[in-house]
Amino acid sequence: MTNPLIIVENIVKKYHRGAEELTVLNSLNFTVYEGEFVALMGPSGSGKTTLLNLIAGIDRPNSGYIFVGKDEISALSEDKLAEWRSRHIGFIFQTYNLIPVLTAFENVELPLLLTPLGKSERRKHVEIALSIVGLADRMSHYPRQLSGGQEQRVAIARAIVTDPTLLMADEPTGDLDAKSAEEVLILLERLNSEFKKTIIIVTHDPKAAARASRLVRLEKGILKEDIPTESLDSARFAEAASVFVEARPK
Amino acid sequence: MKLLPLILKNVFRKKARAILTIGSIILPLLVICLMGTFLRLLDRPDPAETRGMFRIVTRHKVGLASPLPMSYAEKIRQLDGAFAVTKFNWFGGKYIDNSARNFFARFAVEPETLVQVFDDATITQGSATDWFNDRAGSLVGEDLMKKFGWRIGDQIVLIGDIYPVTIQLTIRAVYQLPDGDSDALFFNREYLEEALPSFQGKVGTIWTKCRDGAAATRLSDEIDQMFENSPYPTKTETEKAFQMGFVSMLGNVKLLITSLGTIVVFVILLIAANTMALSARERIREIALLRTLGFSRVTILMLTLGESLMLALFGGILGLGLFVVGFRPLKASLINTPLSGFATAMTLFPEVLLLGLVITIFVGLFSGLVPAIQASMRPITEGLRHIG
Ligand SMILES: Nc1ncnc2c1ncn2[C@@H]1O[C@H](COP(=O)(O)OP(=O)(O)OP(=O)(O)O)[C@@H](O)[C@H]1O
Ligand SMILES: [Mg+2]
């Protein structure tokens, strides 16, 4: 492994629900190295999304430190953090979150509007991103004219168009049929192997987890296990993974 | 601004709602412009106060459509305090066609006394004497000359409707009033009397220039009393009261109109704010997405305010445009109603249009303010968890 890219140190994250206090993450430590493809698993409510959001800089810990590259993001101001996200984070959601009134092209172009790039340069970047996800011929389609798998691939193009340091995916295949899910996973794998993107994916699907280079299990706010997949043969891995998988919430 | 296309798409995301909101800005804005014109005219300096022009206007008590006997003018002239008296007859008719574009006020008058009563006007081209000496000559307002591109010596043909006669006039002089529009045409009543004997002896309004304010007040009562029991009772009022028509009788008109206008503004504001609140609520997740992508709070604030401003501007500009386009037809249609005094004085004031624009911008910014602040302050994670 190479240099650490993400260092999470003694993170505490609590939520308040009325008078009740809920500690979701309790003194959590976590390190991700450059070029890793990490699958984050764990039962529903264990804090996977919370952890992902903290690393992506869209939420803040109650205490502890988060470093990404040279930046201590837990110390950045609101505005600095927004700017940091635009340069370093590509986020992929379970529900795609495309803007329905914008075409595939315009959706992918959105993050570039925050850069100083001119119109023709933006076009070039968008075209490249859409061709990587195999949708160069769907640029002028609106989200409602695309299938779920295609929508998710547009969302992936939007996440990679700024060439971010990190790709974060929160159950990216959760809403997809098996075939579309497979396509999305292959795409993520390619982004990791070919484009050297560091990826963290939250998933309930062992098949998805099997594509990762490392598996992390979160339970009741504590990072319990951390098994490098290379060290397992595939039969044992499938067994290990199935242990992590909880029944998806009905 | 790179975000403009997104703002525009957001405005028209729910087309029916956007159109209804824009419509409900257009119509009240038209009303506000009309009210503003009224207020502006009420504010217009009273010639009596600013220039010592104490003019009073006498007309038939029943209305402008009923003429008075010409002999009344002579009787009024003999009253103490009356400096000069002149007679007006609304000619109407059409110039070229009946379109609003070709509409302007035309009066048959008595030239020599007209310039005595309106001695605050200046002759800017030609001369009063030229006009006096040509029975088929006319005196034309500077604004009207500009609008039609007329020159001294040009021929104007008017086809009568109230008076079934076609008259051909030569422009002999051009006048300019110190304030208000100079957009009427005057010609010698003798020309009309010759062409149409039945016109003889009838007069629409009688204008009297009084010695001073006291004389104006006293004469108004004296004149009406003098003719009270005749077959042609009169109503006499000051020039300004005449222009404001019956409105000036309603006590504190200014306060009334201002309060109504303010209420109308708030109604528009509520409608626009409602639309903005709905659209912001529908877009909670989207805004969280944009913030995840790195859009700052300020950008989100501007995106939402930009949307409400755009919505208001669509309504505002259409409303103001409609007011400008509809102004002349409206003026033309009011001229034969009890509001004719107002209609003749009615002007397309730039201040009124500016007021409309300021109100539009105010509505645009304030209707979006609360949703914009909420949208930009909501934590991203909360927005992403939002269902709906
Ligand atoms: N904004 C919030 N306010 C209050 N409680 C919250 C909030 N966000 C998350 N929680 C709670 O924190 C816990 C962890 O939530 P989180 O979304 O991180 O779980 P998760 O592991 O992603 O679950 P899932 O697999 O269902 O997506 C849950 O109990 C959740 O109800
Ligand atoms: Mg989750």
What string of DSSP letters covers A144-178? GGS-HHHHHHHHHHHHHTT--SEEEEESTTTTS-H
Question: Number of A:B CB contacts under 8 A?
Answer: 61
Q: Does A97 touch chain B (CB under 8 A)?
A: yes
Chain B closest-CA separation from residue A235 CA (Å): 37
Reported confidence tier of residue A250, pLDDT bands at 50, 70, 90:
very low
What's A234's domain CATH number? 3.40.50.300
Tell me, yes or no, whether B154 and B102 share the same domain. yes
Tell me, yes or no, whether B193 and B342 share the same domain. no
Question: In what helix (H) or strand (E) does residue B10 lie, and over which residues does it extend?
Answer: helix B4-11
Of the three residues B180, B205, B232, the one that is the final residue of a domain is: B232
Q: Is the CB of B112 under 6 A from ligand 1?
A: no
Tell me, yes or no, whether B204 and B293 share the same domain. no
Residue A243 has pLDDT above 80, yes or no: no
User: Among candidates B153, B158, B179, which has minimal Cα distance to B89?
Assistant: B158
The residue with greater pLDDT, B242 or B271, is: B271
Which residues from B are below 8 Å from A106, CB to CB? 5-6
Each residue of B63-119: pLDDT tens digit?
A: 777 889 999 999 999 999 898 999 999 888 889 888 778 888 899 999 999 999 998
Q: How many domains does chain A have?
A: 1
Task: Say if residues B109 and B86 touch (Cβ distance below 8 Å).
Answer: yes
Q: Does B376 touch chain A (CB under 8 A)?
A: no
Tell me, yes or no, whether B176 and B305 share the same domain. no
Tell me, yes or no, whether B79 and B190 share the same domain. yes
Tell me, yes or no, whether B164 and B20 share the same domain. no
Residue A136 has pLDDT above 90, yes or no: yes
User: Among candidates A132, A131, A112, which has minimal Cα distance to A122?
Assistant: A112
Domain assignment present for residue B51? The answer is no
Which-ligand-closest: CA of B381? 1
Domain assignment present for residue B176? The answer is yes
Tell me, yes or no, whether B41 and B66 share the same domain. no
Q: What is the DSSP string of B321-351?
A: HHHHHHHHHHHHHHTTSTTHHHHHH----HH
Amino acid at B136: A
Q: Quote the mean pLDDT of chain B.
A: 89
Please compute the mean of the pLDDT values over residues A138-149 and round it to a whole number: 96
Domain assignment present for residue B67? The answer is yes
Which residues from A are below 8 Å from B380, CB to CB? 53, 58-59
CB atoms A89 and B292 under 8 Å: yes
Nearest CA in chain B to A111: B293
Reported confidence tier of residue B247, pLDDT bands at 50, 70, 90:
low
Domain assignment present for residue B185? The answer is yes
Tell me, yes or no, whether B82 and B220 share the same domain. yes
Q: Does A114 touch chain B (CB under 8 A)?
A: yes
Measured CA distances, A64 to A8, A14, A106 (Å): 8, 12, 38
Domain assignment present for residue B131? The answer is yes
Distance between the two ends of chain B, CA-based, in angstroms? 30
Nearest CA to ligand 1 atom 30: A45
Q: Does B8 touch chain A (CB under 8 A)?
A: no
Domain assignment present for residue B240? The answer is no
Chain B closest-CA separation from residue A229 CA (Å): 31
CB-based contacts of B387, cutoff 8 Å, min separation 6: none
Q: Identify the domain containing residue A92 by its residue range.
A: 34-58+77-246
Tell me, yes or no, whether B10 and B71 share the same domain. no
Domain assignment present for residue B243? The answer is no
Which residues from A are below 8 Å from B384, CB to CB? 58, 93, 97
Tell me, yes or no, whether B137 and B85 share the same domain. yes
Domain assignment present for residue A99? The answer is yes
Nearest CA to ligand 1 atom 18: A47
Please compute the mean of the pLDDT values over residues B127-153 and round it to a whole number: 94
Please compute the mean of the pLDDT values over residues A5-13 and round it to a whole number: 95
Q: How many domains does chain B have?
A: 2
CA distance A165 to A187: 17
Domain assignment present for residue A174? The answer is yes
Strand intervals (E) in B110-198: 122-126, 137-141, 155-159, 166-176, 184-188
Task: Say if residues A105 and A140 touch (Cβ distance below 8 Å).
Answer: yes
Q: Is the CB of A118 under 6 A from ligand 1?
A: no
Measured CA distances, B146 to A248, B306, B330 (Å): 80, 40, 21
Q: Identify the domain containing residue B205 by its residue range.
A: 62-232
Residue A14 has pLDDT above 60, yes or no: yes
CB-based contacts of B18, cutoff 8 Å, min separation 6: B11, B12, B275, B311, B314
The residue with greater pLDDT, A162 or B2, is: A162
Please compute the mean of the pLDDT values over residues A144-156 and round it to a whole number: 97
Which residues from B are below 8 Å from A99, CB to CB? 286, 289
Tell me, yes or no, whether B331 and B359 share the same domain. yes
Each residue of B316-374: pLDDT tens digit?
A: 999 999 999 999 888 888 876 767 777 777 888 999 999 999 999 999 999 999 999 99
Place of tokens 């990190």: A166
Given this model, what pLDDT does residue B47 score?
A: 65
